[in-house]
């Protein structure tokens, strides 16, 4: 029986989105700088906590700073849905927040439908999914999954040299508590993440909502080119050890290799030391973001870049160290769950053939997929643009995402949990 006093999912979505959207937005670019434990992050965490509590959800931060808002006492058989609120530097409004706002709105939609979960339902916010401040993506979910050591996480530093431990402590969390949380994962029967599509595949279809099939293998590699500081105007070319030159070779090699292997390779972040116009640098640190549809293609790109960078470094008398900072294997979402979501989404879809799509974008769902049955829903992105202030999704498509997520959660909650299914 519908509850007329609880807003529908779409109504709740619009209200929640209007509250969240201004928080941490750069008035100049319109982008966001929401990074783990910074001021904007504190704002959006406070917003989430209030929005969840006002729905009667019990909000808890786990030992890694991830937020879990519970409808029902935490325990075995739990269904969880959520995403992240942090952004890339000057990122868009939808990547992450769309999944969190849709999850809260789906709770309202379920309540309005009179659904009373027979098992715990959690809305989650994972911390530092983008790695925008401390460099390792999905840091909160990797810690909970035991896929990064607490020691390494505590020592990660931001551009100013602040460690994760200090930043976490300043935000009121205990860095000594960091670590895997096998109990929390064991309680999870299923995790579903709704996310804005970071591509245009859905835009080519009549479907506002699609389902994820896989996440490409991908990773981040740090390259340190060590040269010799010297005068830009008086040092003869033959006497230079200029680290910028092998760096430039690496960047161009990444592009050529990505074309050859139909992969994606990007060097979007670099640090030149001392970064003076008239001083040959002593050091260039640069980060390669590489992704491909399969492990062989990814390996071909990364080893090719490493080889080109090494050759050029030797030619210019420059040292080179390359280190993998994060590495995510191919994720293939559980087929039964994937197909079940596609069937549920189809019940409200504008036509047959709900798209089931792979993506080159990493997600917390990709980390959890190795530990918990996991699935993802995508909401149509008309331009495909993401990691940019221009990222946008139509309100009507966002509403379709909320209703689809509510349908999926209602379907999952109505089924026996894994252990009950045997």
Q: What minimum distance in Å lies between the beta carbon of 338 and ligand HGY? A: 19
Report which DSSP code applies to 377.
Answer: E
Stretch that binds ligand HGY, among 129-137, 143-151, 276-284, 293-301 (CB under 6 A): 129-137
Closer residue to ligand HGY in complex, CB, 51/138: 138
Closer residue to ligand HGY in complex, CB, 130/147: 130
Query: What is the rounded distance in angstroms from the CA atom of residue 308 to the CA atom of residue 246?
Result: 8
CA atoms within 13 A on the CB side of 295: 6
Q: Which residues contact 270 (CB under 8 A, 6 or more apart)?
A: 247, 284, 285, 286, 287
Closer residue to Mn ion in complex, CB, 6/87: 87
Closer residue to Mn ion in complex, CB, 93/156: 93
Binding-site size, Mn ion (CB under 5 A)? 2
CB 186 within 8 A of CB 76: yes
Segment 362 to 391, residues that bind ligand HGY, using CB under 6 A: 362
Query: Among ligand HGY, Mn ion, none, what does residue 96 contact (CB within 5–8 Å per kind)?
Result: Mn ion
Query: What is the rounded distance in angstroms from the CA atom of residue 333 to the CA atom of residue 190?
Result: 12
129 binds ligand HGY (CB under 6 A): yes
Query: What is the rounded distance in angstroms from the CA atom of residue 125 to the CA atom of residue 140?
Result: 9
Q: What minimum distance in Å lies between the beta carbon of 328 and ligand HGY? A: 9
Smallest CA-to-CA distance from 82 within 98, 58, 61 is with 98
Query: What is the rounded distance in angstroms from the CA atom of residue 3 to the CA atom of residue 254?
Result: 56
Closer residue to Mn ion in complex, CB, 52/376: 376
Closer residue to ligand HGY in complex, CB, 92/304: 92
Q: Which residues contact 193 (CB under 8 A, 6 or more apart)?
A: 81, 82, 83, 99, 363, 364, 365, 374, 375, 376, 377
Binding-site size, ligand HGY (CB under 6 A)? 5
Query: Among ligand HGY, Mn ion, none, what does residue 362 contact (CB within 5–8 Å per kind)?
Result: ligand HGY
How does 209-223 read in b/e, with b if 16+ C-beta sit within 10 Å?
Answer: bbbbbbbbbbbbbbb
Q: What minimum distance in Å lies between the beta carbon of 245 and ligand HGY? A: 28
Q: What minimum distance in Å lies between the beta carbon of 125 and ligand HGY? A: 15
Paired strand residues for 271 = 285
Q: What minimum distance in Å lies between the beta carbon of 29 and ligand HGY? A: 18
Query: What is the rounded distance in angstroms from the CA atom of residue 67 to the CA atom of residue 250?
Result: 39
The pattern of x and - marking residues 75 through 104 that bind Mn ion according to CB under 5 A reads --------------------xx--------
Closer residue to Mn ion in complex, CB, 227/362: 362
Query: Among ligand HGY, Mn ion, none, what does residue 92 contact (CB within 5–8 Å per kind)?
Result: none
Closer residue to ligand HGY in complex, CB, 137/210: 137
With tokens 């047959």, the residue in question is 352
Q: What minimum distance in Å lies between the beta carbon of 130 and ligand HGY? A: 5
SS (H, E, C) 241-260: CCCHHHHHHHHHHHHHHHHH
97 binds ligand HGY (CB under 6 A): no
**Cα-based angle 236, 237, 238 (whole degrees, multiple of 5):** 90
| Residues found in the chain | 422
What ranges make up the beta strands (E) of 182-251? 188-196, 209-215, 218-226, 230-231
Closer residue to ligand HGY in complex, CB, 210/362: 362
**Cα-based angle 386, 354, 413 (whole degrees, multiple of 5):** 90
Q: What minimum distance in Å lies between the beta carbon of 202 and ligand HGY? A: 17
Q: What minimum distance in Å lies between the beta carbon of 191 and ligand HGY? A: 16
361 binds ligand HGY (CB under 6 A): yes
Measured in degrees and rounded to the nearest 5, phi and psi for residue 145 equal -85, -5
Q: What minimum distance in Å lies between the beta carbon of 199 and ligand HGY? A: 12
Binding residues vs ligand HGY (CB under 6 A):
129-130, 137, 361-362
Binding residues vs Mn ion (CB under 5 A):
95-96
């Amino acid at each position: 029986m519908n509850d007329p006093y609880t807003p529908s999912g779409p109504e709740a979505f619009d209200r929640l989105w209007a509250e969240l959207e201004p928080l941490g937005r750069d008035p100049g670019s319109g982008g966001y700088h929401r990074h783990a434990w910074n001021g904007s992050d504190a704002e959006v965490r406070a917003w989430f906590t209030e929005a969840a509590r006002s729905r009667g959800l019990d909000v808890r931060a786990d030992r890694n700073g991830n937020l879990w808002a519970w409808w029902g006492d935490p325990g075995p058989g739990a269904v969880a849905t959520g995403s992240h609120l942090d952004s890339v530097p000057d990122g868009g409004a939808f990547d992450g927040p769309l999944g969190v706002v849709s999850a809260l709105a789906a709770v309202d939609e379920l309540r309005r439908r009179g659904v009373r979960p027979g098992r715990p339902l959690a809305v989650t916010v994972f911390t530092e999914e983008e790695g925008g401040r401390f460099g390792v993506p999905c840091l909160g979910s990797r810690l909970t999954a035991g896929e990064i050591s607490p020691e390494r996480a505590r020592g990660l530093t931001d551009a100013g040299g602040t460690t994760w431990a200090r930043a976490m402590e300043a935000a009121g969390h205990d860095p000594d508590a960091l670590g895997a949380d096998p109990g929390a994962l064991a309680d999870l029967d299923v995790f579903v993440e709704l996310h804005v599509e970071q591509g245009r595949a859905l835009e080519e279809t009549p479907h506002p909502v699609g389902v994820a099939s896989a996440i490409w293998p991908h990773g981040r590699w740090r390259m340190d080119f060590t040269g010799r500081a010297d005068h830009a105007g008086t040092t003869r070319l033959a006497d230079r050890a200029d680290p910028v030159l092998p760096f430039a070779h690496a960047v161009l090699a990444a592009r050529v290799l990505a074309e050859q292997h139909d992969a994606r390779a990007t060097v979007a972040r670099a640090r030149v030391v001392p970064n003076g116009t008239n001083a040959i640098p002593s050091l260039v640190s640069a980060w390669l973001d590489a992704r491909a549809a399969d492990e062989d293609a990814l390996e071909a790109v990364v080893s090719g870049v490493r080889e080109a960078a090494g050759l050029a470094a030797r030619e210019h008398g420059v040292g080179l160290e390359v280190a993998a900072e994060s590495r995510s294997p191919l994720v293939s979402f559980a087929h039964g769950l994937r197909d079940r979501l596609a069937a549920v989404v189809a019940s409200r879809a504008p036509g047959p053939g709900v798209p089931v799509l792979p993506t080159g974008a990493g997600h917390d769902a990709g980390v959890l997929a190795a530990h918990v049955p996991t699935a993802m829903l995508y909401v149509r992105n008309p331009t495909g643009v993401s990691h940019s202030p221009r990222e946008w999704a139509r309100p009507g498509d966002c509403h379709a995402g909320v209703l689809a997520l509510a349908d999926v959660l209602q379907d999952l909650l109505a089924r026996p949990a894994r252990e009950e299914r045997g």
